Amino acid sequence: MSKSFLEVDGLSKVYPDGQGGELTVFEDIRFALQKGEFVCIIGHSGCGKSTILNVLAGLDEASTGNVVMNGKEVKGPGLERGVVFQNYSLLPWKTALNNIIFGVKARWPSWSKEKVREHSERYLKMVGLDHAMDRKPSQLSGGMRQRVSIARAFATQPELLLLDEPFGALDALTRGVIQDELVKIWEETRQTVFMITHDVDEAILLSDRIFLMSNGPNARIAESVKVNLPHPRSRATIFQNPAHQKIRHYLVDFLVNRSGSALPEKDGSPRVVDPSTDELTPDPAPAETKTETTARAVNA
Ligand SMILES: Nc1ncnc2c1ncn2[C@@H]1O[C@H](COP(=O)(O)OP(=O)(O)OP(=O)(O)O)[C@@H](O)[C@H]1O
C-alpha cells in the first residue's frame, strides 16, 4: 500500500490535433511527493507542465491516469490545494491585508476576527509587506502584488501549494528579492510545494528535488534530480557549495543535450539522480560554452 502524501499515476493529456487526429502532449506521468517537500518541475515550453499542475489543482482533467492526495482521488478544486499563477489574482477592491484576511476567513470560518487578523498580518510580515498592508493592489508594484499572493497562499496553509511560474512576469532584481522571501516563508512553514519554473538557479535555490521533463509531444517526467544542499539556503552563498555547480551543470546539460531523448525507468517512474555524488561524464569544453549560453536563455 502506498505511503506517499501525493501519488500521480499514469497521467496523459490528449488533444485533437485539428486535422482529424490526436496529439498526446504528455503520457504516463508518474511520481510521488512526500509531505513537506519542495519540488520544482522544469522542461521546455509546451511539454505540459502547466497542464500537469492544473490537473493536480483539479482545474483540468487528464485524459488517463489519476491523482491521489492523502488517499483520496483529486476530482476538482479544493481548499486543501492552493494555487499561485504568474499573474497575481488579488481582489482589486480590497487592501493587501484584506486580501489575505479574505482567504484566511474562508479557510477557518470559526476563527475570531482578532485571530484571523493576527494570522494574516504575520504572513504579510513574512514577505516584508507589513508597511503596505492598507494599500490596494493598484497602489502596489507587480512584485509587491505577487508577494501578497504568495503570503495569501501560504497563510491559508493548504496541504499542497501549486506555484505556476510565480515570478515569470517580474524583473530579475525583484525576482531575486521574492525568491529570498519564498525561501524564508518555506523555512518557517515547511509546506509541500510543487512549482513550475524555467530558471535552473531558482529551482536549485528552492527545491529538494527537481523533475526534468522530456520534450513534447509524448513528454515524460524522465528524471528526478536530488538537490543535495543544506537548508536554510541563501541566494548569496549557495553557489559556493561545490555541489551547486554539479547540479547546475547537470540540469543545463539535460535541457540542452538530452531533453529530446531522455526516458524514465522502465516502470515509468522518474530516474533518480544525485549529481552531487553520482559519477557523471564530464562534458567536453565546447559543450560547456553551449550549456552556459542556454542557462542564460533558460533563466531569461
Ligand atoms: N485546448 C487545447 N487544445 C489543443 N492543444 C492544447 C490546448 N491547451 C493546451 N494545448 C497544448 O498542450 C501543450 C502543453 O501546454 P502547457 O501550457 O501545459 O505547456 P507548458 O509546458 O506549461 O508550456 P510553457 O512552459 O510554455 O508554459 C502545448 O503544446 C499546448 O499547445
pLDDT per position as a tens digit, 213-250: 999 899 999 999 999 999 989 999 999 999 999 999 99
Q: How far apart are CA 123 and CA 101, in angstroms?
A: 10
Number of Cβ within 10 Å of residue 158's Cβ equals 20
Rg (CA), the chain: 20
Q: Which three cell numbers stand for residue 220?
A: 515524460
CA-proximal residue: ligand 1, atom 17 (nearest): 50
Contact 37, 209 (CB under 8 A): yes
Helices then strands, counting H and E runs in the chain, come out as 8, 11
Q: Specify the 3-state DSSP secondary structure of 292.
A: helix
Q: Which three cell numbers stand for residue 114?
A: 482578532
Which tops the pLDDT comparison, 15 or 87?
A: 15
Q: What pLDDT is attached to residue 250?
A: 97
Query: Which of the listed residues 25, 41, 162 should we mutate to test ligand 1's pocket, taking the one with most ligand atoms within 8 A of CB?
Result: 25
Q: 46: CA distance to ligand 1 center in Å?
A: 5
pLDDT of 281 higher than 50:
no
Q: How far apart are CA 145 and CA 190, in angstroms?
A: 22
pLDDT in tens, 141-198: 988 998 899 999 989 999 999 999 988 878 888 888 888 888 988 998 899 999 999 9
Q: 235: CA distance to ligand 1 center in Å?
A: 31
The lowest-confidence range among 26-30, 123-127, 270-274, 280-284 is: 280-284
Q: What pLDDT is attached to residue 280?
A: 57
Q: pTM for this structure?
A: 0.89
Q: Where are the domains of the chain?
A: 6-77+184-299, 81-157
Average pLDDT over residues 74-82: 92
Q: How far apart are CA 160 and CA 194, in angstroms?
A: 7
Is omega for the bond preceding 284 within 30 degrees of 0, making it cis?
no
CA-proximal residue: ligand 1, atom 5 (nearest): 15
Classify burial at 235, counting beta carbons within 10 Å of its beta carbon; exposed 0-12, middle 13-18, buried 19 or more. middle
Q: Which CATH number fits domain 6-77+184-299: 2.20.130.10, 3.40.50.300, 2.60.40.10, 1.10.10.10?
A: 3.40.50.300
pLDDT in tens, 97-106: 999 999 999 9
The lowest-confidence range among 2-16, 22-36, 87-101, 169-183 is: 169-183
Ligand 1 atom closest to residue 48's alpha carbon, by position in its atom list: 18
Q: What pLDDT is attached to residue 172?
A: 86
Q: How far apart are CA 123 and CA 129, in angstroms?
A: 9
Contact 148, 91 (CB under 8 A): no
pLDDT of 1 higher than 80:
no
Is ligand 1 within 6 A of the CB of residue 50?
A: yes
Q: 48: CA distance to ligand 1 center in Å?
A: 6
Residue listed under C-alpha cell 537548508: 231
* End-to-end alpha carbon distance in the chain: 43
Q: Specify the 3-state DSSP secondary structure of 32.
A: strand
